[in-house]
A and B are shown apart, each in its own frame.
Chain A
Amino acid sequence: MNLVFKALSDPTRRRVLQLLRQRPMLAGELSDHFPVSKPTMSAHFAVLQEAGLIAAEKSGRTIMYRLKMSVLEEALLGFAQTLGWQMTPERESAAGSGKGAAKEKMRAIKGEA
C-alpha cells in the first residue's frame, strides 16, 4: 500500500495514469505528453509497475502500457488529484525502503541518463 501512495504522490505519474484511463498506450506515445527525458519517464513507469498500478506488455521493440488499478486505487487517485498530494524526497525514499528492486532500477536508469 505504501508503494501505491508513493506512486500516486507524483503529479507526472498521476497524469500517466489519467492518460492510461482513456486507452492502453505505447511507452513513446506516453512520453510525448511530458517535457522530460525518456529515462526519467522509464523511472516513473518502473515505480507505477512496482506499485501494480500499470501493466507492461512487450511486443517486439515496443512496450504497451495498460491500466491495472483496482476501484480503491482509482478512488485514491481521485483523492490525490483533488488534494494535490506530493511527497517530500525524504518521505518518498522512506516509502520505497525495503523494496530495493524498483529503486535500484530507477538509479540504474538515471545513471544511464
Chain B
Amino acid sequence: MTNMTRSISDWLAPVLVAAGMVLVAANWYLQPDRSVVWAVVTALFLCMAWAVRVDSRRVRDGAERRPGRSLREGVVLSGLIMVLCLGGVLARKFGLSGDNNLSWRGTMILLGLFFVITGNTVPKVLPPLSSMPENESKAQACRRSVGWTWVMTGLVFTACWLVLPVAMAETLSMPLLVAGMITVATQIARLRWSRHKEA
C-alpha cells in the first residue's frame, strides 16, 4: 500500500507544483490588486519545488525514505489542497462555479482523507524493540487503537463534508475532530503514564 502511494506521489508531486504555479500566475494576472497574496503563494510553491528536488536527490543517492513520512507525500497533500483552492478562485472569477463553498468543501474532504491515510500507517511505524521490550505489547495496543481512532475520525469527517450541507458539516466535523484528537491524546498519555509507573 505504501509502495503504491509512493509511486503515485513520485510523479504527482512535480505535476501538482507545476499546476499550482500556472494557477497562481493566472490568478495574479486576473487579480493584480491581491499581489501580496499571490507572491506568498508563489513562494510556497517554490519551497515545495525545492523540497521535491531535495527528495529526488536523496532517492537518487540511495538514501532510504522513512515509511509514511516522505517529504513528497506532504508536498502532494499540500499541493492538492492549494491547487483546489486556487482552481476554485479562478472558477469563481470566470463564473464557472456558483457555489462559493466548493473549494472549501473539497479542501475539507482532502483533509479528512489525509487523516485516514495518516491513521492507516500509524501501526506500521515500529520503534526498535530494544528500546522498551517489556512495554512492547502495550505500545502495540496503543499504536493499533490510535490508528483505528484516527482512521474512523477521518472517515466520518470526510463523510460529513461529502454528504451534509456546509453549515451542518462545519458544526458536526469540528467537534468530531476535537473528540478524535482528545481520544488519541488520552491513549498516548495512558501509555506514557504506565511506562512512567513501571520505570
- Identify the A interface with B (CB < 8 A): 1, 4, 21-24, 52, 55, 57, 59, 64, 66-74
Contacts and interface: CB of A to CB of B under 8 A. Distances in A.
B contact face: mostly helix, strand, loop, or mixed? helix
Interface in B139-176: 140, 144, 147-148, 151
A contact face: mostly helix, strand, loop, or mixed? mixed
A58 to B, nearest CB: 10
B121 A70 contact: yes
Contacts of B2: 52
Interface in B1-50: 1-2, 4
B123 A64 contact: no
Given A55-B126, A71-B148, A22 B119 contact: no
B124 A69 contact: yes
A73 to B, nearest CB: 7
Nearest to A23: B137
A40 B100 CA distance: 61
Given A69-B123, A70-B121, A1 B1 contact: yes
B1 to A, nearest CB: 6
A59 B130 contact: yes
B147 A71 contact: yes
B129 interface: yes
